[in-house]
Each structure stands twice: as structure tokens, then as C-alpha cells.
């Protein structure tokens, strides 16, 4: 009798059509796809090779994952790309475009640039050849020259504004806004705003910050003459003025030409008039001119308030009508009597708070007492600065700052904390590490904001969960009698530390085997640092003094000696990618 062949295990994804796998991949970053699926089966490898919708995010990426993407994905397979030359990934864009020139990204539709080095302009010279590019995001106006000849740009986002960007204002005039649908600018003059609204007929989402320094500018802002109503449905405006006050009437004149608005956010950072507090008048205006509006958030900083006519209860009463409260979600407001700020919650509820300062008075908000948890749930960064008892609990704190030596676990859920900063020098580090290991199971970023000796950590269990370690106030010594940092933090991938010599940096590089990004603040080593007049000298030092970088010279670095002496390093880890075991994904057929 012939026995049937034994059933062989098959990877479950191998049974799915490639179109479904493609759809699954659409929800992952490229490095996650490669790390999770590469070499899981021959079928999946073939799909990885033919997939043409990779979203590549190199922001804060580990060097070994960057190398994995470079080795596995061709430029024509990428549709969105995020590049960053910040201190965690110095010289990244230069390295990447030396491997894949930008003109080869023929299917690229979106690009985001962060902290790109000024000396790397030539890498982007041919960006205009990317015919499908319609999304451009950057952190400076000085990059707008790249998109001057891209006619069909649909989304433009500039995230920051710095002093040197004042000379770049005219660069907006060279951009084609005709197809633009979404625009975010960190600074915009009223003249530029008028020009944008006239030349962007398809604009539906606008997020801008206006700084108005003269009285004429306020009137000019309000009188944005349009022949036809604007089709904008999502508008966010921040205004800072140094002269006249910003009144509700100015907003009404500006907004009355936007009947299709569905989401509106107004932020008057300074110079708000008292009539911004008149909820009844806002209600009448919205009902008449903004009939489609379903989300209205604001934060008004009021000056020269008339306390006789505008007191807390008088103000809040106008925001308790059915117009404000009988909607889903309701438009709740809070009035800060100390700083004269009226704002909607939860949108403008604080996300960062000191425990000793947080309290809600029933007389300062329209939020029902039964929903106060909404206010506290917005707080994701908490500083414990007092041992005060509390009747409420912070349920979503992800960043915790300790300025005292006691943690009341009744007021917050330590299991959700991901970042911990310890400021109090009175903490016992052994006790702290025990709390981290037993209660802060999600903690991966630790900052110790005072100087201590590693000997205090002797006999302590290792914290394998810590991936980011910040010891910027700590003076490190690698004497034989001192304790080894890698023993307590064996899996650190990103390190910021103050040291007293270059030799200590080399020692740490060789000891922390998983380290990918290191920022070293070097003090009291002027004899050696004077020798590093150029970055080529530093490269020579790295390869001569460290076994790790001599063995694998795939690293980049930045020397920052303008004020203090800093070295920022990005390198591949010594640890190979672990082999995956797929027991949970096997099926038998």
C-alpha cells in the first residue's frame, strides 16, 4: 500500500493572492515590511521584489534598517519618501542620493524633508523631473526653490519658520498654486494671503500663521476681496498682532466668503478683543454664514478686558445654549481667568502640565463635571512636582517628569509611560530602576537629568527595555573601577551623553553593541579636540580607535563645535537581524 505524502507546513500568507499582500503592505513603512516579512518565504520575497508602492520613512531610523532598505528596494518602487539629516541621522540625504539620484524616483508622489543640511542642495537639483510629485513637505521656506517648476502640486506643507526664512518670503510667488488643494505655512503676510486666495481656485484646506505688525495689515487681512465664494472647507488660522486688537468683526468679514467651511480653528495668540468672548454673536454669525460648519475650535488671548461686562459666569453663559451643547460632539469651552484666555476643549486643553497646577473649577468651564475625565485624558506629559493628593487620575500619561522622590501610583497609570525624565538628585537609582522594571513596562526612553556615578548602579539588574538613553548632565568615566554602562543598558540604540574625552566615546561605541545614533558632548579634552580641524580627521580617528568602526566603516557623523564640542554619529549595530520563527503563522493543508 502506498502511503500519502506527509502534510507539509505552509506559511499562511503564501495562500493569499499577491493583490491582498499588496494591500497589507500599503499600511506599513518599507523598513517594517522588510524586517517583518523578508525571507519568510520565496513567495513573499517575490512580492517584495515586485511591490511598487513603498512608503519609505528614514526619520530617526536605525542605521541597519536604513542599510536594509537601500539593499532591498529600488528607487522606482518608492511612492513616498521621508528624509532627515538631524543629529540622529547626520548626512543621511547625501548618502541616500549618492546611491539613488533623485531623478531615478520616477514614481515618487510625496516627499518630506527634515533638517536637510544646507550643503546638500545639488542632490535636489533634478527634483523637477519627477512628473508624479504632488506632495511636498519641509521645515523651511528656503526649500521652496525645489518646487518652483512643479506645476501640479496638490499639497504643500512648511512646518517651521526661522529667522533666516524672512529672506525667503518671495519664494512663494514663484510657486504655482493652481492645482493646490492643501496648504500649511508657519508664516504668512496678509499680502501673501491675498495672493494665495486669488491664485489657488481649488484650495480646500488652509493652515496659516499671520503676524500683523501694523494697523493697515489688520484691515487688509479682513478685506480679502473675492469674485466668487471660496471653496475652502478646512481652515486653521493663528494670528499674532502688535498693534490694534483682533476683533470678532474682523473674523466675520473674512469668514463670510467661505460658506463651505466644515472645520474651523482660530487662535489669537495676542491682541484679542473682548468681543471675541461673545458666544451669542458667534452663534448668529455661524448660523447665517457657515451653515455646514460641524467643528469649531478656538483659543483667544484677550487684552484690556472690561471686567465689569466680561466676568467668568457672564462669558460662559453665552456658550451654554443648545447651539453649543446639543451637538455631537458638543462645543465645550473653558475660561482661564488668570491669563484671560477662552478656549475650546478638548482641542486646546493642555497636553503638558505640572501636577500642582492642574485643577478645574465648575465656574470656569461648560464641560459637565461628569466629563472632567475628558480634560485629564488629554494630558500626555506630566511633571510630578508636589506630593498633593488628588481625586482624579491621569490615564494617558506617556511622558513623566519626576521633580520629587515619590510616585503616587493612584493618580497615574505607570504602565503607559514611555518616556521618563528624573530631575531630583535625591532619587536612589537602584530604587528607580526597580520601579521601571516592575511598573513601567512600556518605558523605552530614559533621561537622568543630574550627575551621578555608575557605581550607584552596581548589582542592579539590566534594563533591556531602554532603547533611548539621555545622560546629557552626566559626566562619564570609564576607569576600571567604574561600572560599565552597557551592563545596565545593554540594548540602547540611541545615546546622548556628556563625556570628558574622545577615548571615552570610542569605549562606548565598542561596548554598546546595539548603538545606532550617538550624540557625544565632549568637555575638558581640548588637546585632542584641537586636532580635529576637519571631519576627515575625525573619520580617521574613528577607524583607528574603535574596533567596531574599523570593521564596518558604514557610518556617518557631524562635528558641531560652534559653541560646545559635539559629535553626532550614525552607525550600523554589531548585532545581526534576528532570525524569525513563524510558528504562529503555519497551517497544514
Q: What is the pLDDT of residues 139-156, one digit of tens each?
A: 988 899 999 888 889 999
Would you place residue 581 in the very low, low, confident or very high pLDDT band (cuts 50, 70, 90)?
very low
Whether 527 has a pLDDT exceeding 70, the answer reads no
Whether 238 has a pLDDT exceeding 80, the answer reads yes
Task: For residue 270, give the C-alpha cell.
Answer: 495676542
Q: What is the pLDDT of residue 191?
A: 81
Whether 526 has a pLDDT exceeding 50, the answer reads yes
Q: What's the rounded mean pLDDT across residues 367-386?
A: 87
Q: What is the pLDDT of residue 478?
A: 53
Q: Rounded to 5 degrees, what are φ and ψ at 275?
A: -70, -5
The CA distance from 174 to 193, in Å, is 14
Helix axes 30-37, 42-50, angle to 10 degrees: 160
Would you place residue 571 in the very low, low, confident or very high pLDDT band (cuts 50, 70, 90)?
very high
For residue 386, the 8-state DSSP code is S
Whether 224 has a pLDDT exceeding 70, the answer reads no
Q: What's the rounded mean pLDDT across residues 169-175?
A: 77
Whether 201 has a pLDDT exceeding 70, the answer reads yes
Instruction: Please answer whether residues 105 and 78 qualify as being in contact, where contact means their C-beta atoms are separated by less than 8 angstroms.
Output: yes
Would you place residue 583 in the very low, low, confident or very high pLDDT band (cuts 50, 70, 90)?
very low
Express as a percent the part of the chain with pLDDT over 90.
Answer: 53
Q: What is the pLDDT of residue 162?
A: 72
The CA distance from 66 to 325, in Å, is 50
Whether 128 has a pLDDT exceeding 70, the answer reads yes
Q: What's the rounded mean pLDDT across residues 21-35?
A: 96
Would you place residue 411 in the very low, low, confident or very high pLDDT band (cuts 50, 70, 90)?
confident
Q: What is the pTM of this model?
A: 0.90
Q: What is the mean pLDDT of the chain?
A: 86
Whether 99 has a pLDDT exceeding 90, the answer reads yes
Task: For residue 506, give the C-alpha cell.
Answer: 570610542
Rounded to 5°, angle at Cα 65 from 85 and 440: 90
Q: What's the rounded mean pLDDT across residues 301-328?
A: 86
Q: What's the rounded mean pLDDT across residues 262-291?
A: 94
Q: Spell out the SS3 assignment of 219-238.
A: HHHHCCCCCCCCCCCEEEEE
The CA distance from 482 to 203, in Å, is 62
The CA distance from 492 to 489, in Å, is 6
Whether 509 has a pLDDT exceeding 50, the answer reads yes
Q: What is the pLDDT of residue 517?
A: 97
Q: Which of 281, 374, 362, 292 is nearest to 321 (CA)?
A: 281
Amino acid at each position: 500500500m502506498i502511503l500519502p505524502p506527509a502534510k507539509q507546513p505552509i506559511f499562511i500568507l503564501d495562500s493569499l493572492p499577491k493583490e491582498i499582500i499588496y494591500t497589507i503592505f500599503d499600511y506599513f513603512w518599507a523598513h517594517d515590511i522588510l524586517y517583518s516579512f523578508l525571507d519568510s518565504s520565496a513567495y513573499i520575497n517575490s512580492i517584495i521584489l515586485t511591490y511598487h508602492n513603498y512608503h519609505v520613512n528614514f526619520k530617526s531610523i536605525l542605521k541597519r534598517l536604513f542599510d536594509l532598505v537601500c539593499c532591498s528596494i529600488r528607487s522606482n518602487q518608492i511612492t513616498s519618501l521621508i528624509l532627515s539629516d538631524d543629529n540622529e541621522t547626520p548626512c543621511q540625504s547625501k548618502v541616500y542620493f549618492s546611491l539613488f539620484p533623485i531623478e531615478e524616483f520616477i514614481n515618487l508622489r510625496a516627499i518630506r524633508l527634515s533638517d536637510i543640511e544646507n550643503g546638500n542642495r545639488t542632490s535636489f537639483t533634478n527634483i523637477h523631473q519627477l512628473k508624479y510629485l504632488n506632495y511636498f513637505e519641509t521645515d523651511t521656506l528656503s526649500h521652496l526653490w525645489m518646487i518652483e517648476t512643479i506645476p501640479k502640486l496638490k499639497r504643500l506643507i512648511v512646518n517651521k519658520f526661522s529667522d533666516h526664512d524672512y529672506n525667503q518670503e518671495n519664494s512663494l510667488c514663484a510657486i504655482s498654486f493652481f492645482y493646490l488643494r492643501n496648504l500649511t505655512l508657519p508664516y504668512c503676510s496678509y499680502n501673501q494671503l491675498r495672493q494665495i486666495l486669488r491664485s489657488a481656485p481649488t484650495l480646500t484646506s488652509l493652515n496659516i500663521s499671520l503676524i500683523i505688525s501694523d494697523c493697515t495689515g489688520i484691515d487688509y487681512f479682513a478685506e480679502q476681496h473675492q469674485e466668487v465664494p471660496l471653496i475652502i472647507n478646512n481652515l486653521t488660522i493663528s494670528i499674532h498682532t502688535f498693534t490694534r486688537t483682533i476683533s470678532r468683526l474682523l473674523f466675520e468679514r473674512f469668514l463670510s466668503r467661505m460658506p463651505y467651511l466644515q472645520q474651523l480653528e482660530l487662535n489669537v495668540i495676542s491682541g484679542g478683543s473682548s468681543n471675541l468672548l461673545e458666544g451669542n454673536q458667534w452663534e448668529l454669525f455661524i448660523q447665517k454664514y457657515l451653515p455646514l460648519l460641524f467643528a469649531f475650535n478656538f483659543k483667544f488671548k484677550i487684552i484690556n478686558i472690561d471686567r465689569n461686562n466680561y466676568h467668568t459666569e457672564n462669558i460662559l453663559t453665552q456658550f451654554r445654549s443648545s447651539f453649543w451643547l446639543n451637538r455631537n460632539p458638543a462645543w465645550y469651552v473653558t475660561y482661564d481667568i488668570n491669563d484671560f484666555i477662552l478656549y475650546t476643549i478638548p482641542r486646546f486643553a493642555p497636553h503638558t502640565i505640572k501636577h500642582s497646577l492642574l485643577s478645574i473649577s465648575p465656574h470656569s468651564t461648560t464641560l459637565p463635571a461628569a466629563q472632567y475625565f475628558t480634560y485629564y485624558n488629554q494630558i500626555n506629559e506630566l511633571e510630578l512636582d508636589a506630593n498633593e493628593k488628588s481625586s482624579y487620575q491621569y490615564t494617558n500619561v506617556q511622558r513623566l517628569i519626576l521633580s520629587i522622590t515619590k510616585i503616587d501610583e493612584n493618580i497615574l497609570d505607570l504602565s503607559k509611560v514611555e518616556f521618563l525624565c528624573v530631575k531630583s538628585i535625591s532619587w536612589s537609582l537602584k530604587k528607580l530602576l526597580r520601579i521601571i522594571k516592575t511598573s513601567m513596562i512600556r518605558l523605552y526612553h530614559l533621561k537622568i537629568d543630574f550627575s551621578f556615578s555608575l557605581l550607584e548602579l552596581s548589582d542592579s539588574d539590566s534594563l533591556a527595555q531602554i532603547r533611548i538613553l539621555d545622560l546629557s548632565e552626566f559626566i562619564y568615566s570609564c576607569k576600571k573601577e567604574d561600572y560599565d554602562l552597557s551592563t545596565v543598558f545593554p540594548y540602547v540604540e540611541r545615546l546622548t551623553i556628556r563625556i570628558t574625552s574622545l577615548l571615552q566615546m570610542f569605549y562606548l561605541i565598542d561596548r554598546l553593541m546595539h548603538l545606532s545614533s550617538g550624540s557625544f558632548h565632549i568637555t575638558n579634552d581640548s588637546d585632542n579636540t584641537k586636532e580635529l580641524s576637519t571631519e576627515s580627521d575625525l573619520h580617521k580617528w574613528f577607524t583607528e580607535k574603535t574596533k567596531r568602526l574599523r570593521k564596518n566603516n558604514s557610518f556617518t557623523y557631524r562635528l558641531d563645535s560652534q559653541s560646545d564640542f559635539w559629535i553626532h554619529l550614525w552607525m550600523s549595530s554589531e548585532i545581526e537581524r534576528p532570525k524569525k520563527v513563524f510558528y504562529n503563522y503555519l497551517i497544514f493543508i
